[in-house]
Amino acid sequence: MTQAVFWALIGMALVVLGLYALIVHAHLLRKVLALNIMSSGVFLVFIGLARRTPDADAPMAADPVPQAMVLTGIVVAVAATGLALALIVRLRALTGRTTLGDDMGD
């Protein structure tokens, strides 16, 4: 196993872990955390596989295209997180709830 494959596998473990928490937990803030961990896992797969260059022993050898895509992805993730948190705060202010679903109401 190479370093690239190793970190790609860790990234997939993070995706699966985040997906489990996303489905299981009801609190919306926890779902946002789970989504962020999922996206970190996807980034890890990208950056890990970017290291599969033939001259991987050379210093700083990595494919710059996935790195640039992850860089945009990080900024998009923080923007989405900000919007999601604003929606959650608004939901709490309007209904007093921090979960979705209609089984909690009256």
Q: Which residues between 8 and 67 bind another protein (CB under 8 A)?
A: 8-10, 12-21, 23-27, 29-30, 32-34, 36-37, 40, 43-45, 47-54, 56-57, 59-67
CB-based burial, 15-31: b 16+ in 10 Å, e otherwise: beebeebbeeeeebeeb
Under the criterion CB under 8 A, does residue 7 sit at the interface with another protein?
Answer: yes
List the one residue out of 38, 39, 22, 31 whose CA is nearest residue 77.
Answer: 39
From residue 66 to residue 105, the character string flagging contacts with another protein as x (rule: CB under 8 A) and all else as - is xxxxxxx-xxxxxxxxxx-xxxxxx-xxxxxxxx-x--xx
CB of 10 to another protein, least distance (A): 5
Q: In whole angstroms, what is the distance from residue 13 CA to residue 52 CA? A: 19
CB of 36 to another protein, least distance (A): 7
